[in-house]
Structure 1
Amino acid sequence: MPTGILTPETSEQIVTTCRTAIGDSLRSVTYFTRDDYEQVYLREDLERDADLSTFIGHEWRGFKTTQTAYEGSELGSYEYTIRVFENGFLIRVTNDSQGVFVTTDGLTIKDFEEVATALDSFLTGSELS
């Protein structure tokens, strides 16, 4: 599954961070930058047929659009995005140079907050690429 933009150790750290916060509800984990992406985890019962390049393009543009649209609002700084779908959820944690999106089965808001906080700390505290 790795494409080489992350070291195996860094990929494992991201997956471990997500598994610790989410557990067996974790479906997939994809790390991305402006120029590339790497799916670092896909649960074995799922098909490997998602169009990740389209997802990444949308999530990157979505981050920039959201960040700009709400900048300076009473809501405060952008933290993360949760998307709700018929068969699961997607959480995106992004900064100006990199991000991770995670798909899950059902979770509570507390679970989303835990994984978002853990991933934000990971992204903020590491030089991944």
Structure 2
Amino acid sequence: MPTGLLTPEATEQIVATCRTAIGDSLRSITYFTRDDFEQVYLRDDLERDADLSTFIGHEWRGFKTTQTAYEGSELGEYDYTIRVFENGFLVRVTTDSEGVFVTTDGLTVKDFEEVATALDSFLSSREIS
């Protein structure tokens, strides 16, 4: 359900970006800020019954915790998170002010890298303060 967080053009861009990188394995796309979220895509065979507000709270806190915990480590700068579940995967790409998490069916590491890089470019181009 649109909340107005993204323009129709931005919504179209983020869906096209994910569909191009992931194809038919794409399950859902949720855009979020610190205060709000919008599920911008849900595959037709899935139900709208996920508790997205809880997911967003966890993903936002998770980003902040991970970013702080590994800051200055020899691993380098934090890029994105992949979560593995019994029925699929969640990829989270976050900046200091906004983020996107995408759920998928099975993907390769190369697919994860491709979608994470594309989403990072999308978020970086928006420059929300």
1:46 corresponds in structure 2 to: 46
TM-score, normalisation: structure 1: 0.97
TM-score, normalisation: structure 2: 0.97
Quote how far apart the aligned CAs of 1:127 are.
4.0
Q: Match for 1:25: what amino acid?
A: S
Q: Match for 1:57: what amino acid?
A: G
Secondary structure of the equivalent of 1:49? coil
The RMSD of aligned alpha carbons is 1.1
Report percent identity of matched pairs: 87
Q: Match for 1:21: what amino acid?
A: A
1:94 corresponds in structure 2 to: 94
Count of matched residue pairs: 129
Conserved in 1, the CA contact under 8 Å of 2:29 and 2:103?
yes
Conserved in 2, the CA contact under 8 Å of 1:6 and 1:128?
no
Determine the C-alpha separation between the residues in 2 that align with 1:78 and 1:32. 18
1:59 corresponds in structure 2 to: 59
Quote how far apart the aligned CAs of 1:8 are.
1.1
Determine the C-alpha separation between the residues in 2 that align with 1:46 and 1:24. 13
Determine the C-alpha separation between the residues in 1 that align with 2:128 and 2:116. 17
Secondary structure of the equivalent of 1:18? helix
Report Cα offsets for 1:25-74 as digits up to 9, x if no partner. Answer: 00000000000000000000001000000000000000000000000000
Quote how far apart the aligned CAs of 1:2 are.
1.2
Would you say 1:121 and 2:124 are equivalent positions?
Answer: no
Secondary structure of the equivalent of 2:44? coil
Secondary structure of the equivalent of 2:19? helix
Conserved in 2, the CA contact under 8 Å of 1:10 and 1:128?
no
Would you say 1:70 and 2:76 are equivalent positions?
Answer: no
Q: Structure 1 regions of 5+ residues with no counterpart?
A: none
2:84 corresponds in structure 1 to: 84
The farther-off stretch of 49-58 and 4-13 is 4-13
Q: Structure 2 regions of 5+ residues with no counterpart?
A: none
